[in-house]
Amino acid sequence: MPPPFYPHGARIAVLTQEVVGVLDYLAPEGGVRLGQLVVVPLGPRRVMGAVWGPGMGDFDMAKLRPVARLVDAPPLSGGMIEFLTRMGEYTLTPLPAMLRMATRAPDLDQPPSARRIIHRAGPPPERMTDARAAVLRVIEDHGGAGFAPGELAQLAGVSPGVVQGLVKSGTLAEVLAPRDVPYPRLDPGLPGKPLAQDQAEAADALRAEVARRAYGTTLLRGVTGSGKTEVYLEAVAECLRQGRQALVLLPEIALSAEFLDRVEARFGARPGEWHSGITRSERRRLWTMAATHNVGLVVGARSALFLPFADLGLIVVDEEHDSSYKQEDVVYYSARDMAVLRASIEQAQVVLASATPSVESWVNAAAGKYRRLDLRSRYGTAELPEMGTVDLRQQEMERGRWISPRLATEIAARKQRGEQSLLFLNRRGYAPITACRACGQQIGCDHCDARMVEHRFQNRLVCHQCGETKPIPTACPACGVEGKMTAIGPGVERLAEEVAERFPEARVSVLSSDLFHSARALKEAIAEIGAGETDIIIGTQLVAKGHNFPRLTLVGVIDADLGLQGADLRAAERSFQLMRQVAGRAGREGGEARGLALLQTYQPEHPVIRAILSGRDEDFWDAEAAQRQAAGMPPFGRLAGIILSHPDMPVVEDYAHALARRAEPLRAVGAELFGPAPAPITRIRGRCRVRMLIRAPRQAPVQAAIAAWLAQAPKPPTNLRLAVDIDPQSF
Ligand code: ADP
Ligand code: ZN
């Protein structure tokens, strides 16, 4: 069915900050279609917009300004328009910001003539220079993708002439932009791996769901290594057989070459890739190809959810519990929840895959809203690791040491046998606190309410909130005493120091996000570990996800108590997920020795620690769910956060109190307002932050109530920012 056609006037959603909503314009000669991207005049400017509906009818045609021109790009589908509209209503985001999410392809409004593109075409040049090598490296880093000529030179840090030289020598070729080049077809008919019985059953169930061509959500649960990926690739195969498109969302960090290789092995070609590392030209190509059904499968980070698929039949959200699916910037949304919304509009299936689902998804499955499929064992011979605690109250710990004698013994035994050990400590840097031994002063950030963290490899103090750095002082900035500044507590760098002292002949690798300057460097480090070139891995949560280290048989959690405290109600859940994932790294694949995971703790009786040890994850979720229900917390009740910020604390506090005094529209729907109170991190980048929390019964029309409440708010002081976070992650 062709989209509705408007011969005269049209409502155009305009992509600007200041226009909230839609404006009427005169359709150009020949009319416009729903979803068509256009350029329209707005005051003295020209801005991009999308046709959002027919004109209102009661306008004076003579006064309407005409659409300036049509954009040479496929129109947004009716489903996409409904999705953006409903998501905007749900998240209380103005339409222009929603539209911007859906038109993230660069230069969509540029005329097509400038569409030249460079790609690898022949052997390396005979005369290789550093500059030429840099260009070839950039191409390789991006998996052979195409580039605009200027873009390639810029990324490589060379002059455009170097790129032109490589074109002349035949190493590179210049062609039409791949915006028009379809992705290679994936073949669902190629044989997949023979599946184990529980995998086959789950795959059958998913295939049947996908074949219905209707909405449904399935929670696919199974420990790490149980073969969930193999199973959902079968759902992708069915989706492709149906002639529909599939989207696999992964946490950014898991978007590895390994995953793309698996897709290629299964379907004979690589999928479209969408994440922060792809080039502008590739972005534009994927956007267009998604809209014209010239890409069958897209693998991407959360923003891939906003690609304009022509016929989306399946969305997989892998590691569905992962906090990187929640965006808390400009538009506050959960990609997992919005995947469910989009699928319900597109008559598509959703698969939420996880070893440690969120409590929300667990409850939805228990309530029958989602179907649940369980993979019960690890694939093949790999066994779950043995779990144990090291009770730190009973260990003789030396000052300034963090590896207990018990854990050290196990590490030494692994080293002897040529196996790998992983020490997990979720703290970047050398030490979390730098303090003066003379006066006790701790060094904080000048712009944030946060301590500066020593990073010894960089030889600087770093603020983990805003990224500000400063040199490590020799004298105390408070009392001026020289030589008394001390590092307190461990970070991964300090742990590495201890390991080097105690296991001087071991090959050590530290995996912490700040130590890698490119995705490529991280990839290389991970490949080296996989190849067995490391004995001891020290890592932050970077190691919890997705990497497969077959020789790894010991996981030591240095501080299992680290995430357990805190006022946040989700602390237990997060801590449980993280430790379960990390522990699952031990003995992944048919290693001879069964893996061992040891949790160092001062509170072995804590319910989270006990749940990890017992392996009865269901009990943990049921207990968490019961607590949430008793407290009226999500998913049993609804929450919304209001975050206000301003450079001056009194200004933001006054305004927040003024808002709180007028909360009648909230109370009218049975919602309660908590706060205002200083946000957990009160100052970030020089802005003071105050938070309010709204809790409402499940069925209450929270968004409408918040909108009504904010509509009658007093005029905000200049420079005040207010954000609404529906379903906040922390509460
Ligand atoms: P998960 O996604 O649950 O962590 P994966 O699908 O990644 O599990 O499977 C773990 C490992 O087992 C992978 O190396 C995968 O290739 C392998 N594997 C899983 N299922 C099969 C199968 N049916 N046949 C052969 N190898 C399999
Ligand atoms: Zn800071």
Contact 68, 41 (CB under 8 A): yes
The residue from 375, 394, 409 where one domain ends is: 375
**Residue 618 C-alpha from the chain's centroid:** 26
Same domain assignment for residues 408 and 541: yes
Same domain assignment for residues 422 and 441: no
Across 19-33, 157-171, 314-328, 465-479, the highest mean pLDDT is recorded for: 314-328
Whether residue 185 lies inside any domain: the answer is no
- The count of other CB atoms within 10 Å of the CB of residue 587 is 28
Token representation of residue 538: 């020290």
| CATH number, residue 657 | 3.30.70.600
> 195 CB under 6 A from ligand 1?
yes
Contact 683, 646 (CB under 8 A): no
In three-state secondary structure terms, 632 is: coil
Give the nearest ligand 1 atom to 194 CA.
23
Same domain assignment for residues 392 and 451: no
Residue ID of nearest Cα to ligand 1 atom 25: 193
Token representation of residue 718: 């200049």
The ipTM estimated for the assembled molecules is 0.96
| CATH number, residue 254 | 3.40.50.300
- The count of other CB atoms within 10 Å of the CB of residue 270 is 17
Give the nearest ligand 1 atom to 223 CA.
3
Same domain assignment for residues 59 and 156: no
Whether residue 496 lies inside any domain: the answer is yes
Whether residue 108 lies inside any domain: the answer is no
In three-state secondary structure terms, 553 is: strand
> 222 CB under 6 A from ligand 1?
yes
Query: Taking CA 405 as the corner, what is the angle to CA 399 and CA 408, rounded to the nearest 5 degrees?
Result: 110
- Average pLDDT, rounded, for the chain: 87
3-state secondary structure 227-243: CHHHHHHHHHHHHHHCC
Q: Write down the pLDDT at residue 19.
A: 66
> How far, in Å, from the CA of 228 to the mean position of ligand 1?
7
Q: How far apart are CA 84 and CA 609, in angstroms?
A: 42
Whether residue 341 lies inside any domain: the answer is yes
The answer to whether residue 377 scores a pLDDT higher than 80 is: no
Where does the pLDDT of residue 595 fall: very low under 50, low under 70, confident under 90, or very high at 90 and above? Answer: confident
Q: Write down the pLDDT at residue 330.
A: 84
Number of domains composing the chain: 6
Give the nearest ligand 1 atom to 375 CA.
3
> How far, in Å, from the CA of 16 to the mean position of ligand 2?
30
> 550 CB under 6 A from ligand 1?
no
Q: Write down the pLDDT at residue 524.
A: 81
Whether residue 165 lies inside any domain: the answer is yes
Same domain assignment for residues 122 and 254: no
Residue ID of nearest Cα to ligand 1 atom 6: 227
Whether residue 702 lies inside any domain: the answer is yes
Whether residue 52 lies inside any domain: the answer is yes
Find the ligand nearest to 469 CA: 2
Whether residue 404 lies inside any domain: the answer is yes
- The answer to whether the predicted template modeling score (pTM) of the entire model surpasses 0.90 is no
Question: Which of 38-52, 162-176, 340-354 has the weakest average pLDDT?
Answer: 162-176
Give the nearest ligand 1 atom to 230 CA.
6
Q: What is the pLDDT of residues 307-352, one digit of tens each?
A: 999 999 999 999 999 988 999 888 999 999 999 999 999 999 999 9
Instruction: Report the residue among 229, 261, 262, 375 best suited for mutation to probe ligand 1: largest number of ligand atoms under 8 A from its CB.
Output: 229
> 229 CB under 6 A from ligand 1?
yes
Q: How far apart are CA 603 and CA 393, in angstroms?
A: 9
Residue ID of nearest Cα to ligand 1 atom 24: 193
> 196 CB under 6 A from ligand 1?
yes
> How far, in Å, from the CA of 663 to the mean position of ligand 2?
33
Q: Alpha carbon of 303 to those of 194, 276, 338, 553: distances in Å?
A: 33, 9, 11, 36
Same domain assignment for residues 156 and 75: no
Q: Write down the pLDDT at residue 179.
A: 55
Same domain assignment for residues 220 and 357: yes
Q: Provide the pairing of β-strand 460-463 with 452-455.
A: antiparallel
- The count of other CB atoms within 10 Å of the CB of residue 203 is 22
Angle between helices 228-241 and 197-211 (to 10 degrees): 30
- Nearest residue to 462 (alpha-carbon basis) of 428, 485, 424: 428
Residue ID of nearest Cα to ligand 1 atom 21: 227
Same domain assignment for residues 229 and 137: no
> 546 CB under 6 A from ligand 1?
no
Contact 62, 50 (CB under 8 A): no
- Residue 570 corresponds to which amino acid? R
Same domain assignment for residues 124 and 214: no
- Helix and strand tally (H, E) in the chain? 20, 33
> 584 CB under 6 A from ligand 1?
no
Same domain assignment for residues 479 and 551: no
> How far, in Å, from the CA of 590 to the mean position of ligand 1?
12
The residue from 178, 209, 226 where one domain ends is: 178
Same domain assignment for residues 396 and 523: yes
User: Which structural domain range is residue 676 located in?
Assistant: 637-726
Residue ID of nearest Cα to ligand 1 atom 9: 227
Q: What is the pLDDT of residues 86-140, one digit of tens each?
A: 999 999 998 888 988 998 766 676 654 445 566 666 778 888 898 998 888 887 7
Average pLDDT over residues 39-65: 80
Same domain assignment for residues 421 and 463: no
Token representation of residue 660: 């709180």
| CATH number, residue 151 | 1.10.10
> 225 CB under 6 A from ligand 1?
yes
Give the nearest ligand 1 atom to 231 CA.
6
Q: Write down the pLDDT at residue 721.
A: 94
User: In 503-590, which ranges are continuous DSSP H helix?
Assistant: 519-530, 571-583
Tell me which long-range contacts 605-610 makes (C-beta under 8 A, separation of at least 24). Answer: 606/561, 606/564, 607/572, 608/564, 608/572, 608/575, 608/576, 608/579, 609/389, 609/560, 609/564
Residue ID of nearest Cα to ligand 1 atom 17: 227
> How far, in Å, from the CA of 720 to the mean position of ligand 2?
19
Which burial class, exposed, middle or buried, applies to 67 when counting CB atoms under 10 A from its CB (0-12, 13-18, 19+)?
A: buried
Binding residues for Zn(2+): 436, 439, 445, 448, 463, 466, 476, 479
